[in-house]
């Protein structure tokens, strides 16, 4: 019996001007993204890229979405999920995590972010 395969892209880094505040739009910020995409694996070994989720194409989808300025990271995560299904109709679930590594919060250390899971 076939199982569930998960393709993972972790620690993707982007620079962008996402955010609600004028400072964020002016100076930008670093973002780190994790993407996990699950699909029903075939019962035979996967030997062709067409039979899996091509992580190069996933990266392109994420990069395109992160290059378009948005006020909220929630919007970015949801739109990435919107963009995945037409390209990879076999996926069953996507998990997106986006972190802002240097948020404009006085005396704050750490990161802030959102995680979004969509089941198809």
C-alpha angle 58/70/62, rounded to 5°?
Answer: 5
C-alpha angle 51/4/79, rounded to 5°?
Answer: 75
Give residue-wise pLDDT tens across range 44-83.
999 999 999 999 999 999 999 999 999 999 999 999 999 9
Is residue 22 predicted with pLDDT exceeding 90? no
Average pLDDT, the chain: 94
The 10 Å CB-count burial string (b at 16+, else e) for 34-53 is bbebbbebeeeeeeeeeebb
Structural domains in the chain, CATH included, are: 4-119 (3.30.1130.10)
pLDDT score of 118? 99
Is residue 39 predicted with pLDDT exceeding 80? yes
Determine contact, residues 37/87, Cβ cutoff 8 Å: no
Give residue-wise pLDDT tens across range 80-103.
999 999 999 999 999 999 999 988
pLDDT score of 1? 63
Alpha-carbon gap, residue 95 to 11, rounded angstroms: 14
pLDDT score of 110? 92
pLDDT > 70: percent of the chain = 99
List, edge to edge, every strand of the sheet that includes 29-40: 4-16, 29-40, 91-100, 112-119
Report the largest interatomic distance among the alpha carbons of the chain, rounded to a whole angstrom: 54
Determine contact, residues 30/98, Cβ cutoff 8 Å: no
Closest CA to 79 of 30, 1, 18: 18
* pTM for the full predicted model: 0.92
């Amino acid at each position: 019996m076939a199982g569930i395969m998960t393709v993972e892209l972790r620690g993707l880094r982007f620079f962008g001007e996402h955010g609600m505040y004028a400072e964020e739009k002016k100076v930008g910020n670093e973002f780190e993204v994790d993407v996990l995409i699950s699909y029903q694996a075939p019962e035979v070994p996967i030997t062709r890229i067409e039979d899996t989720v091509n992580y190069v194409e996933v990266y392109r989808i994420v990069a395109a979405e992160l290059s378009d300025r948005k006020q909220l990271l929630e919007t970015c995560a949801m739109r990435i999920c919107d963009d995945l299904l037409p390209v990879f109709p076999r996926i069953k679930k996507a998990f997106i995590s986006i972190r802002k590594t240097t948020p404009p919060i006085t005396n704050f250390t750490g990161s802030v972010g959102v995680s979004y899971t969509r089941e198809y």
